[in-house]
Structure 1
Amino acid sequence: MNRVSLFFLLFLISQFSYGQFRIKGKVTDAETGDPIPFAAVLIKGTGTGMNTDFEGFYDLEIKEAADSIQVSYLGYITQVKPISNSPEQTINFQLRPSDFELEAFVFEAGENPAFEIIRQAVERRKDFDKRSLEAYETKNYTKIEIDIDHLSEEFRQRKTVQKVTSVLDSIRQLTNDEGEKILPVFFSETVSRFYFRNNPLLRKEIVEKSKVTGVGITDGSTTSQITGSAFQEYNFYRNWLTILEKEFVSPIADGWKTFYDYDLMDSVLVGQDTCYQLQVYPRREQDLAFSGTIWIKKEDYSLKQVDLTVPNSANLNFIERIKIQQELEPTEKGPLIPKRTRVQIKIGQVTPNTAGLLAKFYTATDSVKLSEPKATKFFNNAVELKPDFGEASEEFWAANRMDPLSSEELAVLQMVDTLKKIPVIRFYSEGLKFFATGFLPVGKIDLGPWTEFGNYNNVEGLRGGFGLRTNYKFSKKWAFQGYLAYGFKDQRFKYSVSAKNILDRKHWTTLELKSTREIDQVGLEMESLEGNSIFLAASRFGTLRRPFISTSQQLNFDREFFKGFLFRTGIRRAQFDPLFDFYFIEKGTGELKSDFQTTEWRASLRYGRDEIILINDNERSSLGPSKWPILELNYARGFDWLGGEIDYQKLSFYLYQRLNMGLFGVSRYELDAGKVFGEVPYPILKNHLGNETLFYTTAAFNTMNFNEFASDQFISLRYRHFFEGFLLNRIPLMRRLKWRAVANANFLMGSVSDQNINNIPAFGPDGTALESFGRLDPTRPYIELGYGIENIFKFFRVDFFHRMTYLDMPEARPFVVKVSAQIIL
C-alpha cells in the first residue's frame, strides 16, 4: 500500500470516528428517581449541548474530543462527569435538589421585558384554553406511584420496620448510590377515554383497562375510578388551579402582576418552535404560587411547556414540594391539550420519628379528537368502568404504554407485590382501613362498624354490640347490613337491619327495606348522622339530652335520572317513646300523651351540577362539587292513618357551595330553610342544634345551648371563610408561623305558631314541671360572629365566638372559646 492509499484510509477512519462520537443518557432526581425534563446538558469546553426531553433523556453527537459533560437545572446542584474515549457511551446523572433563594432582579430603565411577553400570553388565553372547545375526546395513559420516603435510621430500627426491610433488602434498590432509599406501597396503570363538552360544562372518563397493586388494596373497581386522568388535570389557562383542595394561582392568571415576578432568561428552540424561556417567582414566598420555568412560543404567545414547583416556603403543612411538568400541543382549532403531565407531591414527616410520603402522577395523552358534543345523558356517571377493565395481558400494556416502564418502575412493582405478602404489613394496613371505614373485611362480609362494639352513657350504662354487612364479593345486586347492641343499665336490646337491592348501577337505582330500634336524642336524631360513624358514637357517649327510644320501619327508593340529579322517595313508620319527662296535648281529645306514632311519606330532589360521584362497592360516595352549588328540596307528609297519629307536612330547602375568592381565600356557605305545616309535638319541629361542648363544630350554633330553640318555620345561613395566608402572611413576625385566619358568621330566623306552643303543657299529670323550648322572635335574628386562628403547630385551631342577640335568655353565653384539632395542608 502506497503512502497516498494509506493516507486516504486513515482519513476515512478519522472521518468515520469523527461523526460517530456519541454520548447519551438520562437525567433524574436523586431523591425520587423521576426524570428531569428540560435540563441543560453541555459538553464542557465546546458549544455543543441540548436540553433533556420530557422523559429526561439526551442524545449528543460531538465533533471533537472532550473530557467532561455537565448537567444543570434551576433548583438542582450542577453535576459534572468525565467522558471516556469510547466512541459510544451512556452517562446518567442523578441531580440533588438545592436550597436556593429567589433573586431580586433590578431593571435600570424601562419595563421588565418579560412583562410584555406575559401580557401578550394573558391577552390570548381564551384562544388556547381547551375549555373553549365545543367538545373533544382523548385517549389517556395514566400511572401513579406512591412511596414512603424519609426513612430515618431511627424509623428503620423499629422492630416492625426491620421485619419489612429484611425482606426487601434482597430486592434491588430503586436508586443507585447517589439516590435515597424509598419504600413503594402503591402502583397503578390506567388506559382510558376522556370526554369533554362545553355548554353545559361536562366531563366523563371511561376506564378501558386498569391495573392496580398496592398495600391494603382489596377492591380494584373502587380504586380504578380515581387512578385515571380525570383527577390529574392541571390547566394553567385557568386563573386558579385546585391541588389538594388548595387554590394555586397560575403564572398567566389575570392578576399575574399581583403575584409574580418574571425574568426573561433566553430565546430557545423547543422542538420546531422558537420560545421565550421565562423564570417565574412568587412576589411573596408564603403565597400559594409557583416558581420555576415556563416556555412561551414567540409565534403566538401560547404555552409550550412548564416546569413549576411550589416551594416549601409556601403556606402549606407537611408539603415539602409540589412539582408540575407539562408539555402542551395545539389542536387543529388552536386550543392546547397537555400531551404529557408529570406531578410530584412530596409530603414530609409529621414528626421526626415517622416517615414521609412521595406521590408521583404521570399522564400521557394521545388520539385527540374534536368531535360533536355527546348527549348530556352520556355524562351521567363522571367515571365509568368497562366490564372487563381488570383483564389485560402484558402484551396489551406493552402496546398501550406511550412510554415503556423504566427499570426503576419494574422494581417498584416487584417490591409492592412483595410488601403485600408480609404479615406485619397486612396487619397494619387492614387495621388502618378498619379504623377509617369502621369495617373489617372478612371474605364476603365486613365486620363492624367498630363504633357499635362499645360505649357508655347515663341511660344505657355500659353498652356492647356487634354488627356486620355483606360486601361486593357477596353480591353486586344485594347488600345486607345489621347490628345488635345491649345496654347493661337499661337492659334493652337495640338493633338495625336492612336489605338493599341495586336495580341499576348506571342510573343509580336502589330499593331498601330497613328496621331499627335505637336510642335517639331530640334534635340529634341518628338518621341525620348516618355516614358519620365517629360523630355518631361521640353523640351517644356521656350524658344524653332528651333521649327517647325510636322504633322505625322504612322503605326507600333512590334513582339518579341524569348526572347530578337524584330523586329519593320512601315511607317511614316510627314510634316515639320518651326517656325524659315529656307530654303534649293531643289534638281533638285534649288529653296528655307522652308517646306517639308517625307514618310519613318522603320525597326529595338533589342536584349537584359538577358533583363527582363514585360507586364505592355497593354505595355511592360523593367527592363534593368543584364550582357549582348543591341544592336539595325535601318534602314529607305525615298521615293520621296507616298507624300514624298525627297529620302534618314538612318542606325544606338546602343549599351548599364552596367559593374560591382568589387572593382572599376560600368561603363555604350553607343555606337552610324549612316550614312545618300542622299541629305537632315539638320533637317533630326543627330543633336547632346548639353546642355546649368545648369543641368547635360546623354543624351547630356554637353559642347556642342544647335544645334552646325550636321552630316550625325558619331560615338559617352558616358562612365560613378561610383566609389561608392572605392576612397573616403580610405580618413579618407571624408569617413564619404559617398561621391562618378564619371567620364565621351564623344567622338564624325562625318562629313557632301559637298552635304548636299551646300543645305543650307546663306541668305533667303528677305536677312535675316539664322542659320546653325557647322561641325565636320572627323580627329578630339569632346572630353569632366568630374569628380565629388555624394551623397552630400545624394541627390546632382556636375560635372565638360572640353571641350578638338573645343575650337576655336564661344561661345565655355571650362569648365562648372553641378548640379543635385538624389535619390540613
Structure 2
Amino acid sequence: MRNVFKIFAVLAFVCAANNSFGQITKIRGKVVDSSTNEPIPYVNVSFKGTTVGTITSESGDFFIETRTAGDSLTVSFVGYAPKQIKIRKGAYQELKVELDPESIELAGVIVKPGESQSTRIIRNIIKNKDKNNPSKLSYYCKSYNKVQVDLNNIDDDVKKRKVFNQFKFIWNYVDTNAITGKTYLPIFITESLSDYYYQSSPKLEKEIIRATKISGVNNESVAQFTGKVYQNINIYDNYINIFDQGLVSPIANAGMVYYKYMLVDSTFIGNRWCYQISFKPKRKMEPTFTGDFWVNDSTWAIVKVQMRLADMVNLNFVNDMVASAEFTPLNDTLWFPKQMMLFVDFNLTDKTTGFFGSKTTSYDNVVINPTYPEEVVSMPSNVQVQEGALNQEKDYWEKSRPFELTDKEQGIYTMVDSIQQVPMYKTFIDIINMFINYYYVVGYVEIGPYYKTYSFNEIEGNRFRVSGRTSNKFSKKWMVSAFAAYGDKDDRFKWGVSSLHMINKNPREAFNIEYKSDIEQLGQSPNALTEDNILTSFLRRNPNNKLTLVKEFSTYYQKEWFTGLSNKLTLNHRIVYPTVFIPFNPVDGSDPLKSITTSTITLNTRWIKNESFVAGEFERVSLGSDWPEINLNITKGFKGVLGSDVDFWKLHLNYYHKFNINPFGYARLIVDAGKIFGSIPYPLLQLHEGNETYAFDRYAFNMMNYYEFASDQYASLYLEHHFQGFFLNRFPLIRRLKWREVVTGKFLIGSINSENKNNLVFPDGLGDVSKPYMEFSAGVENIFKVFRVDALWRTTHLDNPNIEPFGIRVGLQIIF
C-alpha cells in the first residue's frame, strides 16, 4: 500500500514552484449599511458586465474566486444606491463595501422580493426536476477534472517549526483563500482528461482517461480516481450524499420543509430570463446548505448555483464546504453542466492547521443520445486508464485544458518530485507509513505488524512475536511474509511463512501459498481483533483458555473477471489439535482423538457491482459500492486425502448491503446462511461467532461466548442503523456534542442433526440454536469524534452458563 500512502504523505511536505501562468482573482468582503454599519444580506455582488458573482450571506459576507475577472465589482440591492468598486485582477483582496440608502419609486417592477413568489418558483422547479436532471439523460462528453489539496492556517508559528527547516523556500508560495480567509500552501494536484459515457436506462457509466497527472505519484490504480466517475454531486438529487451524510438539496422534493427561500433578483443571463433565489435552513444543525441559485423562467432548469454547508451541521473534521455549478443550454429546453466545483476545509478546529480539498470538473463536446461503441460497453471496469495516459506531453495539456493553471498550481508537479529526494522527507514517510500500515520499512524488508510483537493469554502466557515481509523494493510481483512466536507458559514455538505472487493488478489475478503452525480461536469473526493483538489482551472480558493449536497448509488462485465479479479457488490441508479445555472425546467412549485432519477445496464467488478500490502493489482497499455484496462459498472435504478424517460438503452464502435511508441516516444489512452435508465432529461445524472482549464487533454476536452455539444448518440476520444525529440534534444542549444514535439487532437460528451430535462429546456450554438467539443494542457514536459506546441486551438463552444478559461494548472509529 505504499504507493497509495504516498498520496496522503505528500500532504505534509510539498509546495509550488514559480512559473508564469494565469492567475485567480480572489475577493472576500462584507457589505454594510453606510448609516448604521449593519450588515446587508442578499446583496448582489458581480463583476461589471458579467454574470460572474454571488450574493451576500445573512451576515453580509461574500466571496468570489474566479479566473475570468473584470476590473471592477458592481454591488447593488433594492433600496440602496448601487456602487462600483475597482479591484486588482489576479490578486487576493478584502473589501468592506458601504451602501448608501436611497428613496426610490419602483414603477413597473416585474418581480418583488417575497415568500409567495419564491414558493411558486420552487414548486415549478420541483415539478420539472425529472426533465432537467442530467442523470435522467443518456450522453457522451469530454470531461476535465482537477483536484487540489492545500495545507491551511499557515502562520508564523507553523513556519518556525523545525520540521520545515530544510524546506523554508516553500513559504514563498503561501496564498490566501477567498472562501475562508485562511492562508494556505498548495501541496498536491492531480488532473485528468477523459471521454465519459453515460446511459440512464439501462444504467451504463464508462470512462476512458486519456491523460492524467498526479503530483508525486505514478500509479495507474490511483489514476482512475482522478476522473469523473468517482466525483458526482448533483443538485437535482433530493439528498447529496457526502461522507455518509445525506445533505438535503435546496431543490429537494421536501425542500420547503427544510429551507426558507427568498426571491432576490431577476435578469437576463444570455437571452434567458432568470430568477435568483436565496435559501437558508429553517432549523439549526440539520444537514442543509445556505446559498443561492439562478433558475430559467421557461424551463425551470437551474442555471447557476452556489451552496455552502450550513452552520453546525453534524460532520466531523469538515470545518466548511462550498459547492457550485454552472449550466449551459444545449437547445431551447435542455441545460447541461458546464463546470462544477467542490471545496472542503478539513480541520479539527477553525484555528488548527488542516487541509483544503478542492475539485473542479468541466464538460465539453456534449452529445445527447449517442451511439455507444461496443469496445466501451464491453469494458471490464467502469474506468479505464488509457495506455500512456500518465505520460502525456506538456503541449498536449496546454492545448487540452479548459483554462490555464496558476503559477502555484503548475509548480506543484516539479516541487513534489524535488522534495521527495530530501532524506528528511524519506524518513518522515517511513515513520508515518509505520503508523498507518503497521510496518516499518528497512530496505528490502518491512518489519511488523508491530501491534503483534507482544501479547498474553491463558494458554501461552506471555507471547513474543517477530514478523515481517518483503518490501516493494524487493519485488512488485512477489511478496514473502514470515513470523515466529514463542509463549513462555506453553513453552512452544509457532511459525508461519507465505508467498504471494501478483500476476495482474487490474483486473486482479493472484496466487498465494502459505504454511503456519499457530494457535487460533475457532469461532471468531473475521473482523475481530486477532488473539495476538496487544489490544485483545487488555480488552478480554474472560480469561481465554479456548485457544487451539492449528497446523495448516493452504494455497489459492484468485481471478477477477471484471470489476465486481471474481473467483477464488483454495486448497487447504488443516490439522486441529485438542486441549484440556477443548477435548476431542468420542461419544462412544473410545480413545480421545489426537487431532482432526481435513483436506478441502473451496470455490468462492464474489459479486458486487460498481465497486472501487485504491490499490498498492499487492494489497487494495475497497471504497465500497451502493450495491450489495454477495459471497458464495462451496467447500468439499475429501476423506483419506493426506490423512483427512472426514468427507463433507459445505455451502455458505453471505449478503451485505450498506444503503442510505435519507433523512434518517443509513443502514447495514447482513444476511448469512449455510448448510453442511456429511458427518463431521464439532470443531468443523459452524461455530457461531462469539465475542469475549469489550470491543464492539459488527460481524460477531457481542453477547455470545466462544463455543456457545454450533450448527450444521443455520441462518442469521443483522441490521444496524445509524441515525446520524437525527434525534439528538433536536436537543439544544446535546446537539453541540454532535453525538449520533445507532441501533442494532441480531438474529440467529440453526440446528445440528443427530449424527453430528453423536460424533464427539461437546465441550461444556456448547449447544445448538434451534431456539432463536437474539440480541439488541442502542448506542451513541461520534463521542469525541472517535468513540462508540453500545448498551447491549441478550433476550434469549438466558439460562446458559456464564452469560451476561446486559453488557457495554466500546468501539474506536474515525468517521465523518
Alignment of 1:279-678 (within 5 A): 279-331=278-330, 336-349=335-348, 354-370=352-368, 371-373=370-372, 378-413=378-413, 416-417=416-417, 419-440=419-440, 446-460=446-460, 461-471=462-472, 478-489=477-488, 490-524=490-524, 528=526, 538-539=535-536, 544-585=544-585, 591-626=591-626, 628-643=627-642, 644-678=644-678
SS in structure 2 of the partner of residue 704 of structure 1? coil
Q: Which segment drifts farther, 657-666 or 149-158? A: 149-158
Q: Answer whether contact 2:24 2:406 (CA < 8 A) is retained.
A: no
Larger radius of gyration: 1
Q: Which whole-Å CA distance do the structure 2 matches of 1:706 and 1:743 have between them?
A: 24
TM-score for both structures, normalised by structure 1: 0.82
Q: Which whole-Å CA distance do the structure 1 matches of 2:640 and 2:295 have between them?
A: 73
Q: Which whole-Å CA distance do the structure 1 matches of 2:203 and 2:211 have between them?
A: 26
Q: Answer whether contact 1:276 1:297 (CA < 8 A) is retained.
A: yes
The answer for the alignment partner of 2:128 in structure 1 is: 124
In structure 2, the CA distance between the partners of 1:42 and 1:224, relative to structure 1 (3 Å rule), is closer
The answer for the alignment partner of 1:716 in structure 2 is: 716
Letter paired with 1:244: F
The answer for the alignment partner of 1:193 in structure 2 is: 195
SS in structure 2 of the partner of residue 122 of structure 1? helix
Letter paired with 1:573: H
| Cα shift at 1:378 | 2.5
In structure 2, the CA distance between the partners of 1:147 and 1:398, relative to structure 1 (3 Å rule), is same
SS in structure 2 of the partner of residue 324 of structure 1? strand
Q: Which whole-Å CA distance do the structure 1 matches of 2:83 and 2:597 have between them?
A: 79
RMSD across aligned positions (CA) = 3.6
| Cα shift at 1:818 | 1.9
In structure 2, the CA distance between the partners of 1:737 and 1:175, relative to structure 1 (3 Å rule), is closer
Q: Answer whether contact 1:27 1:52 (CA < 8 A) is retained.
A: no
Deviations 1:31-55 (A, max 9, x none): 9xxxxxx972377xxxx77534996
Q: Answer whether contact 2:441 2:471 (CA < 8 A) is retained.
A: no
Letter paired with 1:293: D
| Cα shift at 1:327 | 1.4
Q: Which whole-Å CA distance do the structure 2 matches of 1:96 and 1:534 have between them?
A: 61
SS in structure 1 of the partner of residue 256 of structure 2? helix
Q: Which whole-Å CA distance do the structure 2 matches of 1:51 and 1:501 have between them?
A: 55
| Cα shift at 1:743 | 1.0
- Count of residues in Structure 1 that have an aligned counterpart in Structure 2: 747
Q: Which whole-Å CA distance do the structure 2 matches of 1:751 and 1:579 have between them?
A: 26
Q: Which whole-Å CA distance do the structure 2 matches of 1:442 and 1:660 have between them?
A: 44
Q: Which whole-Å CA distance do the structure 2 matches of 1:469 and 1:183 have between them?
A: 36
SS in structure 2 of the partner of residue 571 of structure 1? strand
SS in structure 1 of the partner of residue 391 of structure 2? coil
Alignment partner of 1:160 is 2:180: no
Alignment partner of 1:804 is 2:804: no
Q: Which whole-Å CA distance do the structure 2 matches of 1:562 and 1:545 have between them?
A: 44
| Cα shift at 1:599 | 0.5
**2:45 aligns with one of 40, 43, 60:** 40
The answer for the alignment partner of 1:183 in structure 2 is: 185
The answer for the alignment partner of 1:730 in structure 2 is: 730
| Cα shift at 1:166 | 3.1
**1:775 aligns with one of 740, 745, 768:** 768
Q: Answer whether contact 1:202 1:379 (CA < 8 A) is retained.
A: no
Q: Which whole-Å CA distance do the structure 1 matches of 2:377 and 2:604 have between them?
A: 21
SS in structure 2 of the partner of residue 695 of structure 1? coil
The answer for the alignment partner of 1:65 in structure 2 is: none
Q: How high is the sequence identity, in percent, across the aligned residues?
A: 28
The answer for the alignment partner of 2:93 in structure 1 is: 94
The answer for the alignment partner of 1:11 in structure 2 is: none
| Cα shift at 1:744 | 1.1
Q: Which whole-Å CA distance do the structure 2 matches of 1:416 and 1:675 have between them?
A: 55
Letter paired with 2:199: R
The answer for the alignment partner of 1:211 in structure 2 is: 213
Q: Which whole-Å CA distance do the structure 2 matches of 1:193 and 1:109 have between them?
A: 43
| Cα shift at 1:624 | 0.9
Deviations 1:684-706 (A, max 9, x none): 11222222322222122222223
Letter paired with 2:649: Q
| Cα shift at 1:721 | 0.7
Deviations 1:694-745 (A, max 9, x none): 2222122222223322222211111111111211122233232322211111
The answer for the alignment partner of 2:241 in structure 1 is: 242
Letter paired with 1:150: N
User: Where does the alignment leave 5 or more consecutive residues of structure 1 unmatched?
Assistant: 1-23, 32-37, 62-67, 84-88, 99-106, 763-769
Deviations 1:494-527 (A, max 9, x none): 34333344445554333333323332111127xx
| Cα shift at 1:318 | 2.1
| Cα shift at 1:358 | 1.0
Letter paired with 2:358: K
Give the number of the structure with larger relative contact order, counting CA–CA contacts within 8 Å between residues 6 or more apart: 2
Letter paired with 1:118: I
Deviations 1:180-216 (A, max 9, x none): 43233322122222232334423233322222125xx
TM-score for both structures, normalised by structure 2: 0.83
| Cα shift at 1:359 | 0.8
Deviations 1:607-653 (A, max 9, x none): 11232245432344321112x21111111111102211111221111
SS in structure 1 of the partner of residue 131 of structure 2? helix
Q: Which whole-Å CA distance do the structure 2 matches of 1:114 and 1:324 have between them?
A: 22
